[in-house]
Structure 1
Amino acid sequence: MKRFTNKTALITGGTSGMGLATARRLLDEGAYVAITGRDQARLDAAATRLGAAPGRVITVRADVASRADLDHLMRRIETWRGHLDVVFANAGTGVFKPSAEITEDDFDHIVDVDFKGVFFTLQTALPLLRDGGALVINASWTLYRGLPIASVYSASKAAVHNLARTLGSELAPRGIRVNSVSPGYIDTEMYRDANPDPDAEARNAAEVPLGALGHADDVAAAVAFLASDDAAYITGQDLVIDGGLVGSVPAA
């Protein structure tokens, strides 16, 4: 399928994991793709891994917590393609420890990236986003189940899902759809950094009815669906990609 032929997509946090997998998926379906990250070397490596034809991908070093960086990013996209059709607000971070140990710096870092960064990514993208476009936000399964070491992280993800609902209403007159995805345990670099215990994967997989961690490509497929015309009548919703983690109990 070539659902994104000649369309332009922006993916924040696109150097690895779910962002990189989504960039590859949209490229395969015909899109032009801009990816961001905070490290130019990682951006260069991601562009090499994507292996797209010249002119199909641009990389822009940008910190989504910086409004100035986001303004620069949108100017680059406007010069490159003149418009956007799809935005995947994927850049995120996490600090995972008990609430009593969360510092003010921890709080500010999480909220700056996971909530403020998402809000201003979408706000600055809107002047470039064509009517009928799609916004997809990366939320989290922790919207639905309490995770004891993720109080601020989970709250920020709840905030961005609510943003999907409110913007879905606000932007409906332009035909712009806004949804979020909530990945469960997905085997990415960020997951492994947060779970250094060698037994963590087996423990987490045991909580999942399908019996395994998900892959970045599973999330990429969901984002591509929500961003495509296949989801033309879906807005303000959250799509959970978790192998049944949230809603089911594993079979004995």
Structure 2
Amino acid sequence: MGDGRVAVVSGGGTGIGAAVARGLVLDGFDVLVVGRRGEVLAETATRISAECGRAGAVRPVTADLTEPGQLATVVEAVGERTVDVVVNNAGGYLGGATDTLADVAGWWRANLDANVLTAVLLTEALRPALRRPGGRVLLISSIAAQRGGGGPYSAAKAALHGWAYDLAGALGPEGITVNVVSPGYVAETEFFGDRMTPEGHAKRVDATLVGRAGVPDDIAAAVRYLAGPDAGYVTGQVLGVNGGSVLGR
């Protein structure tokens, strides 16, 4: 990696995270992609760097961001460099049993850990290194935060909104912006695994006003704007990127 601007993207190995990483490389950033699957991260880092013609522009960092002790790996990878952008993309819907109250508690904790705690711990770990002024903190939420439908996943994503408002207030005086990107249905990701059916896909497309599913690059484009120099007056906002499935409010 060089001496240019630095971005850190969690959940950067596939889908939206990989698209965000690629877009930021195209915008001139050196990018650290963070996640639990080292082999996937390494393959993605090599591929994006080659596609963008910038050898070593993307560096993989293997860490489970739900474990506080593993955040040191990310901090060490950043080293003495200043962090310009943090994109908290790690998370997803985690299924679980609900037969007992203990099952319910475990299911909820797993979703809160994966979607909220990962963002909190990564942001707090990198907070001292954020560029002042000019730093950007971005949280990837979900349409489920606004319309429900995901149980603990919806609740976890909605929690990111409230935290973003607090964080924007705390970091604004230091010249750092904090915003949320809230995707709607995005195809070409691992989010649904083998749960998506042709009928489910069609239903979600029909719910949009534009008649198509989103793709990871749609979300990456929103992140690139909010991470860029033209968004310095935008903070404490939730940007819906959902094809009109949920109207702004």
TM-score normalised according to structure 2 size: 0.90
Amino acid at match of 1:109: A
Structure 2: which amino acid aligns with 1:219?
A: I
C-alpha displacement at 1:152, in angstroms? 0.6
Q: How many angstroms does 1:100 deviate by?
A: 7.4
Q: 1:114 and 2:112 equivalent?
A: no
Size of the aligned set, in residue pairs, is: 240
- After TM superposition, give the deviation of residue 105 of structure 1 in Å: 2.3
How many Å apart are 1:68 and its aligned residue? Answer: 1.3
SS of the residue 1:27 aligns to: helix
TM-aligned CA deviation for residue 197 of structure 1: 2.0
Deviation at 1:93, TM superposition (A): 2.0
In the alignment, does 2:28 pair up with 1:30?
A: yes
- Cα distance in 2 for partners of 1:36, 1:181 equals 19
Name the SS for the 2:31 alignment partner. strand
1:47 matched residue in structure 2? 45
5+ residue gaps in structure 1?
none
Q: What secondary structure is seen at the aligned counterpart in 1 of 2:193? A: helix
CA 1:236–1:143 in structure 2 vs 1: closer, same or farther (change >3 Å)? same
Match of 1:95 in 2: 94
User: In the alignment, which residue of structure 1 is the partner of 2:10?
Assistant: 12
- Report how far residue 204 of structure 1 moved: 1.1
- By how many angstroms is 1:186 displaced? 0.5
Distance 1:78 1:97 in 2: 38
Q: 1:163 to 1:58 in 2, by over 3 A?
A: same
TM-score (norm 1): 0.89
Corresponding residue of 1:59? 60
Q: Match for 1:231: what amino acid?
A: A
Per-residue deviation at 1:43?
Answer: 1.0
**Aligned twin of 2:106:** 105
3-state SS of paired residue (2:135)? strand
- TM-superposed CA distance for 1:37, in Å, is 1.3
Alignment gaps of 5+ in structure 2:
none
- Post-superposition Cα deviations, 1:87-125, rounded to whole Å, max 9, x if no partner, equal 000001213579778633222211111111111111111
Report how far residue 77 of structure 1 moved: 0.9
Root-mean-square deviation (CA, aligned residues, Å) is 2.0
